[in-house]
Amino acid sequence: MISNRAQNLQPSATLKITGKAKELKRQGKSIVSLSAGEPDFKTPKHICEAAINAINDGFHGYTMNAGTPELREAISAKLKRDNKLDYDPSQIICSNGAKQSVGFGLLAIVNKGDEVIIPAPYWVSYPEMVRLAEGESVVVRTSFKNDFKLTPQQLEDAITPKTKALILCSPSNPTGACYTKKELEGLADVLRSHPQVHIISDEIYEYIVFEDDHVSILNAAPDLKDRTLLANGFSKGFAMTGWRLGYLASSAEIVGAVSKIQSQETSAPSSISQKAAEAAYNGDLSEVLAMREQFKKRRDFMVKSLNDIDGVSCFTPGGAFYVFPDISSYFSTTTTSGNKIESSTDLSLYLLEEFGLAVVPGDAFGEPDGLRMSYAASMSDLEEAMDRFRKGLGSLK
């Protein structure tokens, strides 16, 4: 009865652990959750006001399928201002979140059997989106020693005549790692000799970077622009996850193909959210910067606390709101109730069930030796979480 397509799709592992944490909470257990993938802040007021005005002004109808001309103008101006990239509004399509932008982007370029290179650890949705597009994911495991960044040699080794695309995510979910311009130049050198390979550059965490400015692969290699699909959105930087607004910038040909798919699947995103997004890009960024400051303090606390624990190591991520410590030295241990810990999933379940701490196992992201902890949580929750983590690991024999 159910299609093979739906049956073969994996449910989100992040949602599985969050679901279990919610269930335990309902049963009255004290749970601290570091599993969230969204900012714990409110959307800035001026953005909300733009949406309220849109409602009161009767901006209630369908908009153009690719988004309003005004929002696409605002995105084009922002790409120029913040990213030094030239995109005409006709090369931009707005969707219901960057998730849809990446998903429709893949549907627009991938044919059955085409290979898509995904560096691991990866955002959980990428392989499933490739599967929906009938492509084949080629997962390349990166190394903790290298802050989980793909090297040019790894990229070269993974490319075959069937490679259609590479998905890059910087700053990264789940590691927070940011590629430097030099590192992106190294990858671009490889991509230049393989003209059939497109680049899906997911830059959704762009505004959450702590030391250096955000760098897009297109800053390192502007000549790759026609085969790059730049995905971005408003969810993370502006704390707008529920507004569902993202976009894709690419060649007119690719944007046209995405537009055709969108026109038959969903049409344009919400007219109200589009007005809000326009205000976000045209307005003042001081609240975005204030959120970033908070995230930076929390990152510093998390990295220090983790590295102070015996057998745990964590590099300092340059962006996003995640840390991804290596916890593999705790494999082959036993809990006080006699259960064996053999994997990051075992460890996460143990921490949740016995210490009320929800984290996402690295297994979910294709990296078995790590765990993802989100620090989109209050400082007091983070302190409590680190206490529980320390106690949980300390009780293993």
Ligand X SMILES: Cc1ncc(COP(=O)(O)O)c(C=O)c1O
Query: With contact defined as beta carbons under 8 Å apart, do 142 and 118 qualify?
Result: no
Output the DSSP codes for 186-235: HHHHHHHT-TT-EEEEE-TTTT-BSSS----HHHH-GGGGGGEEEEEEST
Sequence length of the chain is: 397
CB of 358 to ligand X, least distance (A): 16
Adjacent-strand bridge partners of 119: 140
Query: With contact defined as beta carbons under 8 Å apart, do 362 and 368 qualify?
Result: yes
Neighbours of 143 (CB within 10 A): 13
Of positions 173, 201, 250, 348, contacts ligand X by CB under 6 A: 173
Q: Which residues contact 25 (CB under 8 A, 6 or more apart)?
A: 31
The helix or strand, by DSSP H or E, that contains position 348, with its residue range, turns out to be: helix 344-355
Instruction: Confirm or reject binding of residue 169 to ligand X (CB under 6 A).
Output: yes
* Pairing assessment for the beta strands 322-323 and 371-374 based on DSSP bridges: antiparallel
| Conformation bin of residue 320: beta by default, left when phi > 0, alpha when psi is -120 to 50 | left
Nearer to ligand X, 31 or 245 (CB): 245
Instruction: Confirm or reject binding of residue 76 to ligand X (CB under 6 A).
Output: no
Q: Which residues contact 293 (CB under 8 A, 6 or more apart)?
A: none
In the chain, the DSSP E strands lie at 32-33, 92-95, 115-120, 136-141, 163-169, 198-202, 228-233, 246-249, 322-323, 333-334, 340-341, 357-358, 360-361, 371-374
The closest residue (CB) to ligand X is: 97
CB of 169 to ligand X, least distance (A): 5
Query: Following CA atoms 200, 211, 314, 32 in sequence, which dihedral angle do they give, to the nearest 10 degrees?
Result: -90
CB of 233 to ligand X, least distance (A): 4
Q: Which of residues 224-283 bind ligand X (CB under 6 A)?
A: 233, 235, 241, 246
Instruction: Confirm or reject binding of residue 39 to ligand X (CB under 6 A).
Output: no
Segment interacting with ligand X (CB under 6 A) among 95-103, 129-137, 149-157, 384-392: 95-103
CB of 159 to ligand X, least distance (A): 22
Of positions 36, 75, 98, 188, contacts ligand X by CB under 6 A: 98
Instruction: Confirm or reject binding of residue 367 to ligand X (CB under 6 A).
Output: no
Nearer to ligand X, 123 or 210 (CB): 123
CB of 261 to ligand X, least distance (A): 16
Instruction: Confirm or reject binding of residue 356 to ligand X (CB under 6 A).
Output: no
Nearer to ligand X, 377 or 393 (CB): 377
Of positions 37, 121, 186, 366, contacts ligand X by CB under 6 A: 37
Instruction: Confirm or reject binding of residue 97 to ligand X (CB under 6 A).
Output: yes
Instruction: Confirm or reject binding of residue 202 to ligand X (CB under 6 A).
Output: yes
Q: Which of residues 122-151 bind ligand X (CB under 6 A)?
A: 123
CB of 311 to ligand X, least distance (A): 28
Segment interacting with ligand X (CB under 6 A) among 91-99, 141-149, 185-193, 385-393: 91-99
Of positions 99, 164, 198, 299, contacts ligand X by CB under 6 A: 99
* CA separation for the pair 119, 36 (Å, rounded): 22
Query: Following CA atoms 314, 315, 316, 319 in sequence, which dihedral angle do they give, to the nearest 10 degrees?
Result: -100
Q: Which residues bind ligand X (CB under 6 A)?
A: 37, 97-99, 123, 169, 173, 202, 204, 233, 235, 241, 246
